[in-house]
Structure 1
Amino acid sequence: MKVYVEELRVSTRSQEDIVVITEQVERVVEKSGVKNGLALIYLPHATAIVTANENEPRLKDDILNKVRALFPRGAGYRHDEIDDNANAHLANIFLGFHVVMPVVGGKLRRGTWQELMLIEMDGPRSRNVVVVVIGD
């Protein structure tokens, strides 16, 4: 069994942003040499999210608007007394900081419209994305 690990750097452009990272992750999977297994896409951050969905501009707006509605800034969170980013921490906890996808035939096995997305909630920042590919 092979285990391959690579860390990517992704820059976000604004306080809240969605950056599609599919191509970068697919390159890591290809470099790993793993034909069949799993890919873990992990963010070692407490204020960003990773998910898979359709890369359509209006949907990306809808996603950000929904996340803002679910976790509004300045809603009286106690953590805001220190950092003013409690909403980003809450979004991370409830929406997720990792995704696991199958690797089949040396490629990520994604749905037709699925793209990997980093959702920034406390930017702009330079984020790390850890990709771990495990398999044969």
Structure 2
Amino acid sequence: MHSETRSYRTGGRETVRDLTADCAGFVDGRGDGLLHVFVPHATAGLAIIETGAGSDDDLLAALGDLLPADDRWRHRHGSPGHGRSHVMPALVPPYATVPVLGGRLALGTWQSVCLVDLNVDNAEREVRFSFLGDGAGAGQERGER
């Protein structure tokens, strides 16, 4: 297994950030296996969706409808509606797993791996990439674990 943690700045607004290029770079040449992506935060998640055609904005709109940023939440510190960010990972989990074949992500044509963050109070996010594989890829040749 090989793991790496990367930091991302999500800014002070709700966002869907495409991580697919970083995922692809991480698994490049590693052989067959699984990429597991994990966000160690209580207020962020990962989604595999289409991006660039409005689906990312649609996801944020749907989450806004399901989890409004108002004063209904019992978890009340931070910005108004912050409690909804703590509920979101039940709908958009903090993990995703993608098959890797020949060192390439086996995603569908329109699928992207995206970080989803509704928490405007925390602009820095960490994402852990882990490759679990057969050991036939370039990572093993370099002596990585």
Q: TM-score, normalised by structure 2?
A: 0.84
The alignment-based identity, stated in percent, is: 27
Q: What residue identity is the alignment partner of 1:113?
A: W
Tell me the CA shift for residue 34 of structure 1.
2.7
Q: Does 1:103 align with 2:100?
A: yes
Q: Distance in 2 between matches of 1:59 and 1:112?
A: 14
Q: Distance in 1 between matches of 2:90 and 2:71?
A: 17
The equivalent residue for 1:7 is 5
Structure 2 residue matching 1:78: 3-state secondary structure: coil
Following TM superposition, where does structure 1 have runs of at least 4 consecutive aligned residues deviating by more than 4 angstroms? none
Q: TM-score, normalised by structure 1?
A: 0.89
Tell me the CA shift for residue 40 of structure 1.
0.4
Tell me the CA shift for residue 75 of structure 1.
4.2
CA-based RMSD: 1.4
Q: 2:113 aligns with which of 90, 112, 116?
A: 116
Verify the 8 A CA contact 1:54 1:113 in the aligned structure 2: yes
* Greater Rg by CA: 2
Which of the pair is proportionally richer in helix? 1
Q: 1:35 aligns with which of 25, 31, 34?
A: 31
Q: Does 1:21 align with 2:19?
A: yes
The equivalent residue for 1:58 is 54
Q: What residue identity is the alignment partner of 2:92?
A: L
**Residues 75 and 69 from structure 1, CA distance in 2 versus in 1: closer, same or farther, beyond 3 angstroms?**
farther
